[in-house]
Amino acid sequence: MSSALHFKSINYTGQGSGPRLIVTGAVHGNETCGTKGIQRVMAELDSGALSIVAGSVTFVPITNPLAYAKGVRSGDRNLNRNLFPNDNPQDFEDRIANWLCPLLGQHDVLLDLHSFNADSQPFVMVGPRNNDGPLQPFKHEDKERALARRLGVRRFVDGWLQTYGAGVQRRLGSSDQVGMVLRYGVGTTEYMRSTGGYALTLECGQHADPAAPDVAYRAIMNTLAFLGFIDAPQPNPIADADMEALNMVVVHDKLDAGDRFIKTWSSFDKVQQGDQIGVRADGTPVTAEFDAYILFPDVNAAPNAEWYYLARVAASF
């Protein structure tokens, strides 16, 4: 089936100068809200109801056509991990990467549209602060966070790759595998930043939420207006008082197949310092070391792999 599939992007370029934006949907095949939001914007462009007056915008409605055709998260593997060109592609997602990574590198800004399992509010994953460090050097913090404030949502999360990387270092110590495993943490936004651009992941809502495509559409339109692609009023940034900014702090690993949660946790569930989260196979309770939000709990985690993350309210955004 995969051998018959092709990759598709659609570009609209205005007559005026401006930035180069790429908007991606269905990086995971069962996350279709981005696809629907993109198609809605493209229909307006194609009908003449909307015009790109400056800059260049590329839409990728279905980034992973195999997973999308199957209606599942991944084709052969998770496209949003270990996203690099590969001279010897081993699976379908490697072949996507060989097409997608050069395409990302031709742009300045990425808006990547996703959805999630649990019933919760939309949120934006933002990148690191400006830094010259070895893990994810970055210099567009101000631009990235200014755009994030205008997507139309109120919850923001940062610290993903740094926290993931600290877990890898702890897990592997001085092993020569550290670099390879750190690469596994690189997805669309991390790759985009590595090319010198900036990028946001917008989680638009629960997979089946009928409002999620509207969240995606509004985010695209606000991005087009804010960056000057369309002739439209500037969207107002969300006020500091209305924001919920969280910083991922630590990842805890499952150490044994017998480790278990004491309840079904969802991302953004709150815990207080000392609250029990799980229990180790030997009966030792696992508790929260500070007041926190649980993120990305994985009941199916393998031993010596990420089990759950903890985030705390960020001091500033």
104-147 tens-digit pLDDT? 999 999 999 999 988 889 999 999 999 999 889 999 999 999 99
Q: For the ranges 167-171, 175-179, 305-309, which has the lowest average pLDDT?
A: 175-179
pLDDT score, position 29: 97
pLDDT score, position 244: 96
pLDDT score, position 49: 97
Give strand pairing partners of 199.
110
On the question of pLDDT at 178 being above 70, the answer is no
CA-to-CA dists, residue 284 to 32, 134, 277, 288, angstroms: 41, 36, 11, 13
pLDDT score, position 69: 96
pTM, rounded to two decimals: 0.94
Q: Which single residue is written with the structure tokens 């409605």?
A: 61
pLDDT score, position 185: 85
- Relative orientation angle of helices 33-47 and 212-226, to the nearest 10 degrees: 50
Q: What is the mean pLDDT of the chain?
A: 94
pLDDT score, position 131: 96
Q: How many CB atoms lie within 10 A of CB 173?
A: 8
pLDDT score, position 134: 87
pLDDT score, position 113: 98
